[in-house]
Structure 1
Amino acid sequence: MGFSSASAAPVARPRSLGASLTAEEFKAVFRGHPGGVAVITADAGDGPVALTATSVSSVSAEPPLLIFSVSAQSSASAVLARAETVVVHLLDAHDIQIAQLGATSGIDRFADAHRWSRLVTGEPVYSGVRAWVRCAVIDRMDAGGSTVVAAHALQSRVERDVAGGEHGDALVYHNRTWHRLGAHSAL
């Protein structure tokens, strides 16, 4: 169901959307669209999990809400489906090793005990990252082969702030590789 802007009453959507892009066509479209890099951690009681994501977006400042998506193929998806809270680490180029760690499958992302700790509330958090925000999961929505997670920001820490107008060292993923945004990329 969708909503009509004029009446705010539910409007039925057509059942058939017709032809759609192939998976390869869709990937080609988004390959040229860079995304900020984040690592999401959680622990639903069976041990910590982490994954790298480019789908994190702020939704609202009041209340402070964000969303991200998790592929059903991710090794972290089962834990993220049960977790009541998550930590979203917003990375810059100095955090490339954490980004690569969360993106590498088949490894223990928490083997290096010096790299992470637990907040007093129990969530796993990587140390020294540009910024992190602890969130309460408020909703989940199935979307194709992924789950979209909506979360309410509860607590944050910023290690390396970026003042308005400054370039910082943002880490983005573009066309299947990592990039650093900086003064050279400003228009």
Structure 2
Amino acid sequence: MNFTEGLEKAINDKDLPVVTFYKFFVLGYHLFHKKALNGEPLKRLPHGWDQTRAKNALRRLEARKVLVMDSDFRSGVWRVTQSTRAGSAEEVACIADPFAYVSHLSAMQRYGLTDRSPQALHLTTPKDPCGMHSERSVFVKTCPISTRLKRPFSTSPASRIRSVAARWWCMYQATLGHLHL
């Protein structure tokens, strides 16, 4: 199988409703360096793996109708056409932005704290990685929601994980000289 077919198979094996450019790039990077998928060697490998080659591979998969640009997002998110599941609104939003989390009335409805049904899915995301722990640095995004949220919401300490990740990101950027603290 050639490299593009390998990418297609790897995406379909993950069975995600959407894929971001970052996730696609990482998947292609791992395939490029393994040079095989499930023990089967890949043919027609690119000479290297960078953003340009990733964008070209995305275009080829779009032409084959494997991936379709998701109209709910501005850019960088594609629907996987052969996925066996559509994904709920909050799952897709959290795949598109891994730092987002369901909040406000949407979270209350998910926890069963209210019987009110939100008109929109409320997500909270950080403005920037370094101000993440401050209450003033968050804003609310809303997107249309077509069905009522029914599954129970996870009770993991996600806010602490995001806070630690933001602090790590700030320290990392400061060591590279991109951020002056």
TM-score (norm 1): 0.26
Structure exhibiting the larger radius of gyration computed from Cα positions: 2
Higher percent of residues as strand? 1
Q: Which has the higher contact order (CA 8 A, sep 6+)?
A: 1
Higher percent of residues as helix? 2
TM-score (norm 2): 0.26
